[in-house]
Amino acid sequence: MGRKPVVSSYALFLVALLQCRFLAFAILDPLDFLSLQLIRKSLNDFPGSNFLASWDFTSDPCNFTGVYCESDKVIALNLGDQRAGFPGLTGRIDPAIGKLSALTEFSLVPGGVFGSLPRSFSQLKNLRVLAITRNFISGNIPASLGRLSSLKTLDLSYNRLTGRIPRSIGTLPELTNLIFCHNNLSGSVPPFLSQALTRLDLKRNALTGSLPDSFPPSLQFLSLSWNQLKGPVDGALSQLDQLNFVDLSFNRFTGSIPVRLFSFPITNLHLQRNSFDGPVQPSYQVTISTVDLSHNMLSGQISPMFSTVQNLYLNHNRFTGQVPVSLVDRLLSASLQTLYLQHNYLTGIKINPMALIPRSSSLCIQYNCMVPPVQTPCPLKGETEKTRPTALCNEWKG
């Protein structure tokens, strides 16, 4: 019989070390491990960032910065340094992202990541949050994202996306936050079916057409400013009694402003720079902090119900008659901080010429059908003439 080979203590140490390393790597699913490697190869730190320095694949990937695991699967990937002012990442998002089958959250901080949005995102059936903001993502929004039935937050703001908003996005049943602002999206605003939708932010795009017949009644934040939307808004907004912020400014909306809007729990209402017309007569005292209805074609008398607003912009319309005394009283008591009424057809305001306007308040009433009884500083871009020419006032009366 031959002699048994002698195993040195050093060899045993090496075997134990290899076993430990194997066990360390065995923590993570092999497909997730390979996907992370491909994602890492497609991204780089911007100069001044060392976010990816911890991504050393000789160690456990679940300890990488921004990688969160549960059992042997990656469940969240937050790429980039979250601290304000820190440089982000550059490169592309590798399609291998779609292989992280347990992923529930993917976010990418502001940086220089470019290229199109991988269609493989639609494979992530458990994804609840997809947030890629302030980068250079271009191309169309994949319609296949509409398959992500668990998605709650979809934030692709401040990129270079083009094309239409896929109607499939509107069918996402659990969608709570949809933020596509500051892109180059075109086409119409799709209808939304989710009864959980609270935030819809599509400002600064190139959207056209009319609003959907209705929005989910759960909506609290609505921003559609700086688009090319048109038509009436009454049907779409009148039932949204949970709204606390509305910005439809810089569009081409027409028709009357829904009176019910002024009774909603809104803190900021921005409807300026449209073509709204007709009178505006709220039924109750308006408790909205800031109301901007400027640069429209609104007419009739100014309602005293606006006296409880803190910042009121009614300039550049077609309002007539006297300025309500209650607005003047609130202005002089500093409760009303901004009252812009310039460039209308107003015929009078009861205010003592010697009255002192509080420093915290601002009044502008020039270019109306009256001589301003007090001289107040107006915006730098305001009218240079103090009074509207008599001929124009008479023409409007006629």
Residue with the bigger pLDDT between 42 and 50: it is 42
pLDDT (average), residues 385-397: 84
pLDDT over 90 for what percent of the chain? 81
Contacts of 379 (CB under 8 A, 6+ apart): 340, 364
Query: Using CA atoms, how far apart are residues 190 and 83, in angstroms rounded to an integer?
Result: 35
Predicted pLDDT of residue 4: 46
Q: Which has the minimum average pLDDT: 10-19, 169-178, 273-282, 386-395?
A: 10-19
What is the token pair recorded at 105?
């959250």
Contact 103, 120 (CB under 8 A): no
Burial of 16 per CB tally in 10 Å (0-12, 13-18, 19+): exposed
Q: What pLDDT, in 10s, does the model give residues 286-312?
A: 999 999 999 999 999 999 999 999 999
- pTM for the structure as a whole: 0.91
Residue 185, C-beta contacts closer than 8 angstroms, at least 6 positions apart: 141, 161, 162, 163, 164, 165, 202, 205, 206, 207
Indicate the domain borders of the chain: 255-397
Say which range, 112-116, 255-259, 373-377, has the weakest mean pLDDT.
Answer: 373-377
- pLDDT, greater one: 7 or 385: 385
Q: What rounded mean pLDDT belongs to the chain?
A: 91
In CATH terms, the superfamily for domain 255-397 is Ribonuclease Inhibitor (3.80.10.10)
- Please give the C-alpha separations between residue 329 and each of 1, 303, 333, in angstroms, as whole numbers: 113, 14, 6
Q: How much of the chain, in percent, has pLDDT values that exceed 70?
A: 91
For the stretch 179-221, pLDDT in tens is: 999 999 999 999 999 999 999 999 999 999 999 999 999 999 9
Task: Identify the H or E element spanning 338.
Answer: strand 338-340
Least confident of 187-201, 222-236, 361-375: 361-375
- Phi, psi angles (nearest 5°) of residue 170: -70, -15
- Closest by CA to 229, choosing from 185, 295, 194, 294, is 185
Rounded distance between C-alpha atoms, residue 386 and residue 384, angstroms? 6
